[in-house]
Amino acid sequence: MFNIKNKSTEGKTMREFEKNISVNVIATFEIDKDNEQQDIFDIKHIWKIALKDKKHLMNYIKRQLDPNRKLVKLSLCWSCSKHMVNKYPCIKESIFKDNGKYLFGSWA
C-alpha cells in the first residue's frame, strides 16, 4: 500500500459539511424581462465554514446564484434542531435578529 500525500490538501482542512442543517432560500432579483423575479431552492448540506458568521453565510449563498442578476433580497427558512441553532450563532442571529431577511442593492 502506498502513502501518497496530495500537495493541494497538505496542511489544509478539507471542506466539512454540516449535514443536520438545511435552509430554504428565496432569492429576489430586480425585475428583468428575461428571467423570473425569484429563485427558490434548498441547500441541504452546508459547509461548516459558511456557518462561521453572517458574511461567510451570505457569500456561500450568493455563490449559488447567477452573478449577472441584481439581487435585492434573500429570505431564509432554516430547518434544524435547537442544538444546531445554539451551536452556530449566525443561524441564531438569522432567525431571531434578522428574521431570515436580507436586503441588497436598491432595496437596502
Cα atoms in the Cβ-side hemisphere of radius 13 Å centred on 66: 14
Res 13: pLDDT = 54
Q: Which residue has the higher pLDDT, 57 or 8?
A: 57
Give the number of other Cβ atoms within 10 Å of residue 57's Cβ: 24
C-alpha to C-alpha distance for 65 and 28, rounded to whole angstroms: 11
Instruction: Please say whether the beta carbons of 103 and 70 come within 8 A.
Output: no
- The model carries a pTM of 0.82
Q: What sections of the chain are H helices per DSSP?
A: 54-62, 82-87, 89-96
Res 14: pLDDT = 59
